[in-house]
Chains A and B, each alone.
Chain A
Amino acid sequence: MNQQGNKARQQVELAIEAQGLVKRFGDNRAVDGVDLKVPTGTIYGVLGPNGAGKTTAIRMLATLLRPDGGYARIFGHDVVKEPQIVRQLIGVTGQYASVDESLSATENLVIFSRLLGLGRADAKRKAAELLEEFGLSEAARRPLKNFSGGMRRRLDLAASLIAQPPLIFLDEPTTGLDPRTRNQMWDTIRRLVGSGSTVLLTTQYLEEADQLADRIAVIDHGRVVAEGTVDALKSSIGSSSLHLRVRDSQQMMLARQTVERVLRVQTSISAEASAITAPMGNADAVTDLLIALREAGIPLSEMSVQKPTLDEVFLSLTGSNTGDNAVQASGKEKQVEGQQYEYIH
């Protein structure tokens, strides 16, 4: 016990510390040994595709699910042994809005405020304050049935902030929102951290993690496959990627060899097996590549430079892609390896 107490005190600067978290649903290991360390005062992004285990991991950290293995501490408090303390330190905003559909926005916030121990007058004032801040004052009295998706999300986030928790979980806060509302949500999240909160957010979008997060963990099949700062992860896959289509598919292999030789990277062939994809650090190299391709007599039907997609992050980080013909950029994988898992074992 004593030892544990000391350990907790040493690590108080960590908002979240999870080690070997496991959750099984039947035979399916939804979360299969997740380790996380989230420093206080940062935005931490958990990136992964649908079904990767992001939500399950958050639910365990937020005391909504009991882990089958491993442990997690929130500001040094164990989520299983001291759940009621943990709940006083967190705010949770789920993937779907966790507010009462049949009540109005004000009624929702007043009820949550009252539950958190505010008096009748204080609860009303707090509700009005939050509605004002989230631009919902005009809709305050309307039943939520008529709210748009963005308004619901904002109300949901407002409800999570009543107690001013030092740690906030946001599970895919912008999924399904239009770009303008999404930007508003991003601003709100940034302001939150500015006031001293720590935010853990999950997302399917690399851009979102890029915009907001200080550090990112990439989760796939219930495991953390990479962890590091945004810059480190980005440089591991190149800041952008090159897509090429050759006019004559007979020349596919030759084109691929040329790209690998000129850019000195591993390439992959997309799922449809007609395009070559390569990570690209330096856009100037494209000129050399085009010249080389012309010299080799390979006509192109299409060429584009794109920001890396989540698929490509996975391709280069996990080596497992959704497409069968995927060839991993294994040379780049090693680079991140040094930055991840330094705290394991």
Chain B
Amino acid sequence: MSTFIKPGAERQLKNHSSFGQTLRNSLTMAYRGLLKIKRTPEQLFDVTLQPIIFTLMFTYIFGGAISGDVVSYLPVIIPGILVQTVITTSIVTGVQLREDMEKGVFDRFKSLPISRIAPLAGALLADTVRYTIATVLTFTMGYFMGYRPEGGLGYVAIAALLVIGCSWAISWIFAFFGVIARTASSVQGISMIVLFPLTFMSNAFVPADTMPDWLQWFVTINPISHLVTAVRDLTNTGTAGSDLVFSLIGAAVIVAVFAPITVRAYMRRT
């Protein structure tokens, strides 16, 4: 306060934030998210335990029935469980966003001359750390159980990035629920109702050809199926096909639709 403050009328100001500023603001908000994770590491329980438990459980329950034995089921189930686990993890993004927004600090973010999307984008970006943990743990569990992806480590890494990227895109949907919902538990509820059928009515756990026709039709158009197939192609054969393209387009469309409406809802919410 020692320096004299420049009068408001004499300042030259712009009424929009540039792309560079948006990026910087989002990264700062992501840094905030990481600091919060560092301060409360117990919030990582779900992403550490779920991959371990689900991978063990599903592989040993379904393995014999579907593929004859556990090891030959691994190339089918590991990509499936990976997609299911990581996308389920993205629900937490919406729940935490809801809790975070209740706090006074979001009022300050809104009153700062920062990019409007930054508090949301930053929070979502920080959560990719969670997806990364879940992804690494799922592949590690698979490895211990005897999964040796034919595609090699490089393609496994690409598959991991694909799943993390798509989950980030999908987390915008849950962020939207998070912004419009009244309580954090309702975000959890709505999100599970949407996600549970989507992940199970796909080719993630079982081949689709034993299902009735109408269900097969749904499974083939289900974006989750495309993502699972893309991951299988990458890890098991080291190939990238149309499913990869569909997955990326799907992810882009989700962000293009949900990011703007989420930010608008966020701005309107008081």
Contacts and interface: CB of A to CB of B under 8 A. Distances in A.
A166 B8 CA distance: 5
Contacts of A318: none
The CB with the most chain B CB atoms within 10 A, among A12, A91, A99, A115, is that of: A115
Interface in A89-127: 89-92, 94, 96-103, 107, 111-112, 114-117
B8 A116 contact: no
B270 A65 contact: yes
The CB with the most chain B CB atoms within 10 A, among A65, A85, A97, A164, is that of: A85
B68 to A, nearest CB: 50
Interface size class, chain A: 35 or more
B1 A195 contact: yes
B108 A159 contact: yes
A198 B6 CA distance: 11
Interface stretch (B25-33, B56-64, B128-136, B210-218): B25-33
A78 B111 CA distance: 15
Main secondary structure of the interface of A (DSSP, over half): loop
Contacts of B35: 103, 107, 111
B28 A111 contact: yes
B113 A116 contact: yes
A59 interface: yes
Contacts of A117: 21, 24
Interface size class, chain B: 35 or more
A248 interface: no
A40 interface: yes
B7 interface: yes
Given A40-B7, A115-B114, A102 B39 contact: yes
B104 interface: yes
Nearest to A92: B111
Interface of B: 1-9, 11, 13-17, 21, 24-25, 28-29, 31-32, 35-36, 39-40, 103-114, 118, 268, 270
Given A89-B8, A92-B111, 16 more contacts: A65-B270, A75-B9, A81-B15, A92-B108, A98-B104, A100-B36, A102-B36, A115-B25, A116-B112, A163-B113, A166-B7, A166-B11, A192-B1, A195-B1, A196-B7, A197-B5
